[in-house]
Amino acid sequence: MLSQFRGLLFLVLTAATSLALQISETPRTRIVVLGIAQDGGIPQIGCSQEVCRTQKHFVTSLAIIHGSLVYLIDATPDLREQYRGMVDRHPECAKKNLFDGIFLTHAHMGHYTGLLFLGKESISTNNIPVYCSGQMAEFLRKNAPWSLLVQNQNIDLKPFETGKPIDLGFKITPLSVPHRKEFTDTHGFLIQGEKKSLLYIPDIDAWEPVQDSLRQWFLKTDFALLDGTFYSGGELPGRDIRLVPHPFVEHSVALFDGFPKFHTKIFFTHFNHTNPLLLPQSSERKAVSKSGYNIAVDWQEFSL
């Protein structure tokens, strides 16, 4: 009888150990914020404001680390320094071919021009998968110098379907959003890890056209990194701010406060150098924080 009990106990412990090992071996999905600035970066060229004299921020981008896999969302003009900073902090992410894949939101200068560093004049990558909309793929395929990246097989274009999840061990779903369409359409992404999820929309003209979907996304996600380019409408003296439409943060806060209660923790990102939220002691930053919203910071990480 005792020997039977010992045998049963051995089987139970073996099964429990096996299950624990399986759980511990499940890759953890992490999101790393590689930058928080609008396309022109900070300091922006020709800028003499306080923020440009005292701060440096790379253009908005994310890295997704899933086990040994590393994916990039948007290839910015700061890609060289962003990659070095990522590898310094996460040496296990260093790869001969840089990334296991790159996701692109749209064809504005801060979001795809870093692809140039993948070409033969630089590291000359080998068929990095580039996930983008059909319009974005067509733009890259037909326009120099991007077309040379395709011809030389530095990148491998993989058009995605809006709303259809892509399973890479984690799930990433492209979400169509309205934004200036000079060259291509624009997408945000919903990134789903094993336990949590993150909504990423760095560029949009206005929330109202997608507010019904946004309410649902806020109910389903744990974190959201959203367009915070301008705090208010008076930040570009001498220029018509309507020609570069983005939702003002003060309006976004008021709009989101009117939504049904949600648990998503919201972080604003993609800041223009004129945005007072970049100044730690500004009244605007204090007001946003007091309202329960957050300011994304460089190298911040989210565990999914």
- Residue 14: inside a domain: no
Residue 52 lies in a domain: yes
Question: pLDDT of 122-181, one tens digit each?
Answer: 999 999 999 999 999 999 999 999 999 999 999 999 999 999 999 999 999 999 999 998
- The number of folded domains in the chain is 1
Pairing verdict, β 155-159 and 166-167 = unpaired
Q: What is the pLDDT of residue 254?
A: 96
- On the CB side of 31, CA atoms within 13 Å amount to 29
The list of the chain residues with pLDDT below 70 reads 1-27
Task: Tell me if 18 is assigned to some domain.
Answer: no
Contact between 229 and 38 under an 8 Å Cβ cutoff? The reply is yes
State the CATH number of the domain containing residue 293: 3.60.15.10
Please tell me the distance from the alpha carbon of residue 28 to that of residue 36, in angstroms, as a whole number: 24
Q: What is the model's pLDDT at position 4? A: 55
Considering the domain boundaries, does residue 70 fall inside one?
yes
Question: What tens digit of pLDDT does each residue of 168-206 get?
Answer: 999 999 999 999 988 999 999 999 999 999 999 999 999
Rounded to the nearest angstrom, the gap between the alpha carbon of residue 46 and the centroid of all alpha carbons in its chain is: 27
Please, are residues 79 and 114 in contact by the beta-carbon 8 Å criterion? Answer: yes
Residue 253: inside a domain, yes or no?
Answer: yes
61-66 sheet: strands from edge to edge: 155-159, 128-132, 101-103, 69-73, 61-66, 29-35, 301-303
Domain range for 188 is 27-303
Q: What are 255's two structure tokens?
A: 């709009």
SS3 of residue 13 by DSSP: helix
Asked, for residue 19, whether it belongs to a domain, the answer is no
Residue 5 lies in a domain: no
User: SS3 letters for 236-295?
Assistant: CCCCCHHHCCCCCHHHHHHHHHCCCCCCCEEEEECECCCCHHHCCCCHHHHHHHHCCCEE
4 domain-assigned: no
pLDDT of residue 23: 45
CA distance 262 to 224: 12
| Residue 51 C-beta-side C-alpha neighbours within 13 Å | 19
Of the candidates 270, 271, 275, 272, the residue with the CA atom closest to the CA atom of residue 105: 270
N-term to C-term CA, the chain: 47
